[in-house]
Structure 1
Amino acid sequence: MTGTAPSPQRTTPGTGTSALITNSQGEYLLHLRDNIEGICWPGYWAPIGGRPEPGEPLADAIARELKEETGLTIPLTAFTTVHQDNAEHLGKGTIAVYTGHWDGDAHALPLTEGVMLHWFPVSVLPRLRVPPWCREAIRIHQAA
Structure 2
Amino acid sequence: MAREPEKTVCQNRKARHEYFILETYEAGLVLKGTEVKSLRAGKANLKDSFARIQNGELWLENMHVSPYEQGNRFNHEPKRPRKLLMHKSEIMRLWGKTREKGLALIPLRVYFKDGRAKVELALAKGKKLYDKRDDIAKREAEREIARAARGKA
Question: Larger % of helix: which?
Answer: 2
Q: Bin the TM-score by the shorter chain.
A: under 0.3
Structure (1 or 2) with the larger CA radius of gyration: 2
Question: Larger % of strand: which?
Answer: 2
Give the alignment's TM-score, normalised by structure 1: 0.25
Give the alignment's TM-score, normalised by structure 2: 0.24
